[in-house]
Amino acid sequence: MDKKTLRKQMIAKRDSVSLEQRLGLDAIITDIITEQMGSVDCVGTYASIKGEVDTYFMIQNWLMSGVRVCLPRIEGKIMNFYEIKHLKDLKAGTMGILEPIDGCEYVDPSQIQQLYIPMVGFNDALYRLGHGAGFYDKYLVNYNHVKIGLAYSYQKVTQSFQENHDIPVDLIITNEGILYHTISHNSTI
């Protein structure tokens, strides 16, 4: 099955889950992140859209605890991350996804210690299936810290779909726990 067909199936599967079910799964994932995050000064994350693991509660928690929070903004064919100070620093941008407003400070990839990444699907090798625009694939080429996928366990697929340009994440947090590469890891993220 090609990526386009797989992506369409996974989005349909994700969209079939009720809001009530997703809220319960989001709470579990948020608890795992809170327990495992470790001490960091700066995180990158995304503004969740319909069906994705909700990030707004985590963003609020990080902001209130003094962690620098950065979200992506699409600029032409690339994606850059900008620090927000409040949720009101976001406005509808590319594809209607909330992005940092003009005036937010650009953050170099080297400053972001943990990057939380949305997924349409994932496989055992920790490759992510995204929406197909390639923005994360391009960004991850220059990102050398912890790459964390956020997904629901039902988004896992058994087939290999990755291509040469795809970059796996270091771990995936789901409602069933944390999936790591087979390399050794610490007890916190």
Residue-level pLDDT at 188: 52
Among candidates 99, 166, 169, which has minimal Cα distance to 134? 166
Binding site per annotation, positions for ATP: 3-7, 128-136
pLDDT of residue 187: 46
Walk along the chain (189 residues) in steps of 10 and give the mean pLDDT of each run.
86 90 94 87 94 94 96 94 97 91 97 95 90 85 94 90 86 93 52
User: What is the C-alpha separation between 87 and 181, in angstroms, rounded?
Assistant: 33
- What predicted TM-score, i.e. pTM, was given to this entire model? 0.91
The pLDDT of residue 189: 54
Q: Taking the domains of the chain in order of start, what are their residue ranges? A: 3-180
Report in angstroms the alpha-carbon separations of 19 from 52, 60, 107, 117, 183: 11, 20, 33, 21, 35
Confidence at residue 37, expressed as pLDDT on a 0 to 100 scale: 78
The beta-carbon contacts of 17-21 under 8 Å, at least 24 apart in sequence, are 17/51, 17/152, 17/154
pLDDT of 182: 59
Q: What is the pLDDT of residue 120?
A: 92
Which overall architecture, per CATH, does domain 3-180 show?
3-Layer(aba) Sandwich (3.40)
Alpha helix (H) residue ranges in the chain: 3-15, 19-36, 56-64, 135-140
In the annotated binding site, the residues are 3-7, 52, 128-136
Annotated binding residues for substrate, as ranges?
52
CA distance 19 to 24: 9
